[in-house]
Amino acid sequence: MSGADAILSVRTHLHDLRPRGRIAACYIVLVVIACVAGPWVLPYGHAHIDLHHRFLSPISAGHPLGTDEIGRDLLTRVLMGGRVSLLVGLASTILSTVIGTALGLVAGYNSGAARFLITTIIDATLCFPVVFLMLTLAAVLSPGVGTIIGIVTLVSWMEAARVVQAQTRVIRKMDYVTAVVAMGATDRYVLLREVLPNVAPAVIVSATLTIARAILLESYVSYLGYGVQPPDASWGNLLNNAQEYLESDPWLAIIPGVAIALTVTMFNLLGESLRDAIDPSLRARGSRS
């Protein structure tokens, strides 16, 4: 199977996407457009301070979602925060998927020291509670969007690596692989032309679920003050000091949280629907593990 065939097979799977998967895909497209284009369209800069209009409640004139403690427009802030959160989610997912897939291919194809080393590193990384490890790294490194992308990558690559490793181990024992090896194919050829296209659908599913998790992880670290730093906004750090104003102005806490919850839900729904479409046997069993 060539790379083009693999993409074609994913495309035919898309026709099997459940309605909830389609809704999720539409939502994601809309959110990305809103976050990218929205701040240009809206009249306020995300750092535009207006001390005469602090703590406006939602559905105020000119401020659909109200304003924060120094009069910044919350809708603009949420959309700007969305840019950062989505960027972190996407960038760290691409990085961790590439790293995880490469390590998974190596570990699944070899049976000696390489596999042992990689699986041991995976297991060791999984020993740490994720948020503890992320906060330690964030405390060591200087904070910023690049740093948080790196940190999220560092705790997210294992998922793709495990999926790819397991699949590679199955595929390399298949008859057609034995056949091309007998015909003199090199390891490189087998990995890139036979194994990789066949693990691609599983990688796409795991990447979609990883985006969801990455957005959530960024929000945790930024909420705790170790991620994206003010005045830059991210969905996590918008909630950073919202707890102070919870009594008087709960919207400041509730609205950015809804943005996180909704977006992460949609990525998870899309990932699960993709998995069901690609592997109908899972739908029959209803397994989500």
Query: Shortest Cβ distance from residue 57 to another protein (Å)?
Result: 14
Torsion region of 279: left, alpha or beta (phi above 0 gives left; psi -120 to 50 gives alpha): beta
122 to each of 49, 155, 211, 283, how far by Cα in Å? 46, 10, 19, 28
Query: Shortest Cβ distance from residue 163 to another protein (Å)?
Result: 16
Please name every residue paired with 73 in a beta bridge, in sequence order, or none if there are none.
Answer: 67
**Which two tokens mark 145?**
């969007």
Among 137, 164, 202, 203, binds another protein (CB under 8 A): 137
- Contact predicate 230/81, CB 8 Å: no
Query: Shortest Cβ distance from residue 278 to another protein (Å)?
Result: 17
Q: Which amino acid is present at 171?
A: I
Among 133, 166, 181, 185, binds another protein (CB under 8 A): 133
**Which two tokens mark 150?**
């790196």
Residue 269 binds another protein (CB under 8 A): yes
Name the DSSP class of 235.
T
Query: Shortest Cβ distance from residue 186 to another protein (Å)?
Result: 33
Residue 139 binds another protein (CB under 8 A): yes
How far is the C-alpha of 234 from the C-alpha of 241, rounded, in Å? 13
Among 37, 59, 179, 246, binds another protein (CB under 8 A): 246
Please name every residue paired with 60 in a beta bridge, in sequence order, or none if there are none.
Answer: 63
Closer residue to another protein, CB minimum distance, 135 or 203: 135
Query: Among residues 254, 79, 225, which one has the least CA distance to residue 148?
Result: 225
Closer residue to another protein, CB minimum distance, 55 or 220: 220
Residues 41-100 that bind another protein (CB under 8 A): none
Residue 121 binds another protein (CB under 8 A): yes
Binding mask 19-38 for another protein (x = CB under 8 A): -x------------------
Query: Among residues 138, 152, 143, 28, which one has the least CA distance to residue 94?
Result: 152
Among 14, 114, 268, 279, binds another protein (CB under 8 A): 268
How far is the C-alpha of 285 from the C-alpha of 263, rounded, in Å? 27
Which residue shows structure tokens 């945790």?
A: 220
Q: How many residues bind another protein (CB under 8 A)?
A: 50
Interface residue list for another protein (CB under 8 A): 20, 120-121, 123-124, 126-133, 135-137, 139-140, 142, 212, 216, 219-220, 223-224, 226, 236, 239, 242-243, 246-247, 250, 253-254, 256-257, 260-261, 264-265, 267-269, 272, 285-289
